[in-house]
């Protein structure tokens, strides 16, 4: 029972981060699942099992958070269709292909994506247009589609919707305002996470009981996080996400290069 209690509370925390920052929660859930259970005396969880757990957790976290952000009209439908649609195609392919990828390779890809995201998040961003209405945002559609396919394949392999990377991409490559990026990212995450989840189920890589326990916690946390997000300064939101991604990247690269996981 210890592992189920641990997973539930990790789900609440990951869900809160999901709703607050517009991510499925995988960027923080992967290191938590890797390091917290053994630290608390429970059995260690392998990366492939974690990828299966976060496939469902990311989907539910994005769904729950998107419901919260939709109330505040922070979702741009054109952005969701172009970036989210192309990501879904790539994620479906990557998820099915992931069965042939080793655990160490999955961890390496995840760590590399985290480094790129962290670098992007520390680039200064102008704030004057950050309160744009959801339907007033303009961006390069072709660029969004190409980026979506690439991120989708990588997200499918690591078992997540990939929001921790495509939020920085939306902010700095597509020039989307912060709150619109966060709100839209959750709906995009639903599309890409659905593709990832289908691939994990189709290749029998979903540990159902563990995933369901953590998902219950995610639903609770994401609703609270989505409300808190609306009252948190935009710069603070970006800095929190940048710090979380950076810490995660440093920790995982330390494990890869020094510990040799």
Q: What is the mean pLDDT of each run of 10 residues along the chain (261 residues)?
A: 87 83 72 87 85 81 66 74 89 88 85 82 62 67 92 84 75 83 77 82 88 88 83 79 80 76 53
Continuous H helices in 130-261: 141-158, 163-172, 178-202, 208-230, 234-254
What's the token pair of residue 111?
């760590």
- Domain residues for the domain of 232 are 2-259
Give the CA distances from residue 182 to residues 26, 74, 129, 143, 165, in Å, rounded to whole numbers and listed in that order: 15, 8, 15, 19, 12
Q: How many structural domains compose the chain?
A: 1
pLDDT in tens, 54-79: 888 778 777 766 666 556 566 788 88
- The dihedrals phi and psi of 133, each to the nearest 5 degrees, come to -70, 155
CA 50 to chain centre: 14
**Non-local CB neighbours of 255 within 8 Å, separated by 6+ positions:** 34, 107, 261
Closest to 109 in 3D by CA, of 162, 188, 61: 162
Cβ burial, residue 162 (10 Å; 0-12/13-18/19+): buried
Distance CA 118, CA 137 (A): 24
pTM across the whole model: 0.69
């Amino acid at each position: 029972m210890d592992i189920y209690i641990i997973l539930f509370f990790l789900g609440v925390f990951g869900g809160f981060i999901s709703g607050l920052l517009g991510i499925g929660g995988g960027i923080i859930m992967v290191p938590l699942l890797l390091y917290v259970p053994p630290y608390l005396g429970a059995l260690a969880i392998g990366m492939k099992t974690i990828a299966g757990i976060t496939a469902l957790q990311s989907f539910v976290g994005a769904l729950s958070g998107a419901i919260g952000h939709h109330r505040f009209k922070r979702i741009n439908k054109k952005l969701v269709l172009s970036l989210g649609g192309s990501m879904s195609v790539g994620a479906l392919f990557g998820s099915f292909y992931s069965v042939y990828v080793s655990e160490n390779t999955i961890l390496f890809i995840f760590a590399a994506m985290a480094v790129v995201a962290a670098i992007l998040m520390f680039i200064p961003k102008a704030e004057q247009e950050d309160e744009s209405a959801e339907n007033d945002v303009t961006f390069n559609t072709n660029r969004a589609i190409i980026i979506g396919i690439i991120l989708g394949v990588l997200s499918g392999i690591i078992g997540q919707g990939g929001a921790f990377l495509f939020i920085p991409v939306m902010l700095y490559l597509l020039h989307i305002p912060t709150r619109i990026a966060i709100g839209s990212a959750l709906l995009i995450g639903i599309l890409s996470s659905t593709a990832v989840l289908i691939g994990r189920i189709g290749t029998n890589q979903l540990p159902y009981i563990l995933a369901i326990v953590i998902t219950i916690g995610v639903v609770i946390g994401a609703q609270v996080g989505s409300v808190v997000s609306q009252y948190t300064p935009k710069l603070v939101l970006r800095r929190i996400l940048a710090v979380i991604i950076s810490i995660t990247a440093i920790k995982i690269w330390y494990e890869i290069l020094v510990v040799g996981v």
